[in-house]
Structure 1
């Protein structure tokens, strides 16, 4: 079992914050998070591209190249694998692993179950050590129908974990945990169960998705408006030196600081 896989089987669920660039990833690692995910929305928005349209393949690979050599574990959000050809998805996963990524998140977008399962199998064949988190969008884009069937197919195809964003109902989460053979990943939402509650339900991985990116962007816009209106911006403000230190390769700073 890889070090990243082991984090899904500890005493507490893996809380996976999602970064969108080098500084955000290193800042989160400096705060003590052992593994960092990426957010496809943040990466796409930073590049001026739409999310969820398979437009960010090159940006995702560049981000993996940038983050994969740093001293923390990184799992890449690769949307649907950026191709309908399982072989090409497998080759992309191999490239991610080659530059240091330890995991990949693949979403089905409520498309063909057989095709998504074939993509998962292709990734496990091309990059056996890469942790495949197979996402189904049955709650994100639908009403939850076919969740069990899809997750069963993805497990059988070799997924190391499964992800059901949009699912927040505790009894349904607990029922899924009981029937799964692999760790369940749930997307944290401020209006859903807390991390301790999700842990009690048996969830083994909690992702933050685009939440941090959206909060960071919101804070920046709010600060600009406050300044324009004569108000003093509130909230945490890392120093120039702390942010500059995050750009340095090698050892991580102990903390980004206030």
Structure 2
């Protein structure tokens, strides 16, 4: 089984539990997740962009995203990359990027239809992007993200876009912001591809999503944001001479953190 086939198989009911895909923003975070036993790891576009001092979803972090991807594929892990809207308005250019990533060993990509101005990409244009990616890199698992539940006033478009994207060749559908169990179950009934849901505080648990038939659960930027919170909380505790936050007992030692690079391929890229 090739890595592409292995990643695809993780989305199938025969795999048992849904694929829980944690999202890394640099080599160290990906290595730590691999060390913890996660076979498949995604990237977070917010984390990759913010770590470079750039804004998410604007296309400005293309170079950082590609550099991160080319470094992570050196690890013994299945790597899926969030490429925002494709970093281009030209479907063929997005296809060339997909082919580059697949050629390097990336097994999946996530492409979104939301735009920074709060609108959705034209549906036909987005279908053209999906077809271009699948034509250039048919082995890639293309997770088509629609932001109909994130952007106000677009929830009624979810089913129509889901149908159009899977007809265009998408291998999975991602609907961040969708949390209602009845709506999730109804959408799954009409889909012929795995549904990906973004975990959210206060939303359904992984167990609950599995019971609904969700096949992929993403962490998105949650881990990156949690790491920022933990870093600031720990620094504040040191500055205030107060007890360190709960959980710091599990912080890796210097040697353990350094060893991650030795075990998982170095910084690469």
After TM superposition, give the deviation of residue 251 of structure 1 in Å: 7.4
Instruction: Tell me, yes or no, if structure 1 residue 231 matches structure 2 residue 242.
Output: yes
Instruction: Tell me, yes or no, if structure 1 residue 118 matches structure 2 residue 128.
Output: yes
Aligned to 1:6: 9
Aligned to 1:69: 74
Counterpart-to-counterpart distance in 2, 1:243 and 1:192: 32
Aligned to 1:28: 33
Question: Do the aligned partners of 1:69 and 1:99 also contact (CA within 8 Å) in 2?
Answer: no
Number of residue pairs matched? 252
Which runs of no fewer than 5 residues in structure 1 stay unpaired? 253-258
Aligned to 1:100: 105
Instruction: Tell me, yes or no, if structure 1 residue 244 matches structure 2 residue 254.
Output: no
Please give the secondary structure, in 2, of the residue aligned with 1:156. helix
Counterpart-to-counterpart distance in 2, 1:141 and 1:75: 24
After TM superposition, give the deviation of residue 34 of structure 1 in Å: 1.0
After TM superposition, give the deviation of residue 105 of structure 1 in Å: 0.1
Aligned to 1:135: 145
Question: Do the aligned partners of 2:24 and 2:43 also contact (CA within 8 Å) in 1?
Answer: yes
Counterpart-to-counterpart distance in 1, 2:205 and 2:69: 30
Aligned to 1:217: 228
Please give the secondary structure, in 1, of the residue aligned with 2:156. coil
After TM superposition, give the deviation of residue 87 of structure 1 in Å: 0.2
After TM superposition, give the deviation of residue 145 of structure 1 in Å: 1.9
Counterpart-to-counterpart distance in 1, 2:259 and 2:52: 23
After TM superposition, give the deviation of residue 111 of structure 1 in Å: 1.3
Aligned to 2:88: 83
TM alignment of 1:177-196, pairs within 5 A: 177-196=188-207
Aligned to 2:169: 158
After TM superposition, give the deviation of residue 232 of structure 1 in Å: 2.9
Instruction: Tell me, yes or no, if structure 1 residue 146 matches structure 2 residue 154.
Output: no
Query: CA RMSD of the aligned region, Å?
Result: 1.3
After TM superposition, give the deviation of residue 249 of structure 1 in Å: 5.1
After TM superposition, give the deviation of residue 30 of structure 1 in Å: 1.0
TM-score, scaled relative to structure 1: 0.95
After TM superposition, give the deviation of residue 14 of structure 1 in Å: 0.2
TM-score, scaled relative to structure 2: 0.91
Counterpart-to-counterpart distance in 1, 2:206 and 2:264: 31
After TM superposition, give the deviation of residue 248 of structure 1 in Å: 1.8
After TM superposition, give the deviation of residue 100 of structure 1 in Å: 1.3
Aligned to 1:255: none
Counterpart-to-counterpart distance in 2, 1:11 and 1:105: 23
Counterpart-to-counterpart distance in 1, 2:203 and 2:45: 22
After TM superposition, give the deviation of residue 142 of structure 1 in Å: 2.6
